């Protein structure tokens, strides 16, 4: 499988990936055109990749939801007196007692919208789950805490989602 990535950090542990700086797209157009998948393009390249070059990009939209699976879920608990509950800003993570209805909501929304990679923020209020937002790019601190490397999950999903080349059933006839 031929993979090209425009984000070195997010694709470090994905096998067979070739990294390119986004501004070098047209210098390496043949490499990108031959790729089965183009990973983590910046927003400003998405239309060129999809509509001009006909490439499949990952993510489509862009928790720790990948493909059809929730990779992990956790509670983020802000430090006493703090406003932010971001893990990178000191929030604690708890992986226990995740409501199954929160996982079901994320899976239903992701499948319904065709989202293959995202971080979803879900609020649970009086036993009801509310989707607050989803993030195409998200921090990996909690995954690291859990010992999860996201690269193998991405690679597995890309392998399962790659369509084999279509061979015609019969020779193509040419008009004379």
Assess if residue 26 is contained within a domain: yes
Alpha-carbon distance values, 150 to 83, 109, 147, 166 (Å) = 28, 21, 10, 30
CATH number of the domain residue 81 falls in: 3.30.470.20
Per-residue model confidence (pLDDT) at position 127 = 80
Dmax (CA) for the chain in angstroms is 79
pTM: 0.62
Start-end of H helices in the chain: 29-33, 43-47, 100-113, 141-146, 150-161
**48 burial via Cβ count (<10 Å: 0-12, 13-18, 19+):** middle
Residue ending a domain, among 58, 79, 105, is: 58
Q: What are phi and psi of 27, to 5 degrees?
A: -70, -30
Assess if residue 173 is contained within a domain: no
Per-residue model confidence (pLDDT) at position 62 = 30
Same domain? For 78 and 132 the reply is yes
Distance CA 131, CA 123 (A): 6
- Which residues have a Cβ under 8 Å from the Cβ of 54 and sit 6 or more positions away? none
Question: Considering just the CA atoms, what is the radius of gyration of the chain in Å?
Answer: 19
Per-residue model confidence (pLDDT) at position 50 = 78
Lay out the sheet containing 17-19: strands in order across: 17-19, 3-5, 37-39, 57-58
Q: What are phi and psi of 85, to 5 degrees?
A: -115, 25
Per-residue model confidence (pLDDT) at position 46 = 78
The one-digit pLDDT tens for each residue of the chain (176 residues) are: 899 999 888 888 898 899 999 999 999 999 999 998 898 888 788 778 877 888 887 767 334 556 667 888 888 776 666 656 677 777 778 888 888 998 999 999 988 888 888 888 887 777 888 887 888 888 888 888 889 888 888 888 888 888 776 666 666 666 65
> Within 10 Å of residue 13's Cβ, how many Cβ atoms?
12
Name the domain count of the chain. Answer: 2
User: Is 153 in a helix, a strand, or coil?
Assistant: helix
pLDDT (tens digit per residue) in 25-54:
999 999 999 998 898 888 788 778 877 888
Q: Which domain holds residue 94?
A: 65-148
């Amino acid at each position: 499988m031929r993979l090209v990535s425009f984000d070195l950090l997010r694709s470090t542990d994905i096998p067979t990936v070739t990294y390119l700086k986004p501004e070098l797209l047209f210098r390496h157009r043949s490499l990108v055109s031959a790729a089965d998948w183009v990973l983590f393009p910046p927003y400003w390249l998405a239309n060129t990749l999809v509509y001009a070059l006909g490439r499949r990009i990952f993510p489509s939209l862009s928790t720790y939801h990948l493909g059809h699976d929730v990779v992990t879920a956790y509670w983020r608990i802000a430090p006493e007196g703090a406003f932010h509950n971001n893990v990178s800003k000191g929030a604690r993570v708890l992986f226990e007692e995740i409501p199954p209805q929160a996982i079901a909501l994320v899976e239903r929304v992701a499948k319904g919208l065709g989202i293959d990679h995202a971080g979803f923020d879900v609020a649970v209020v009086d036993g009801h789950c509310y989707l607050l937002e989803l993030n195409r790019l998200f921090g990996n601190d909690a995954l690291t805490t859990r010992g999860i490397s996201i690269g193998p999950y991405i690679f597995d999903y890309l392998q399962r989602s790659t369509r084999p080349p279509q061979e015609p059933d019969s020779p193509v006839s040419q008009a004379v």
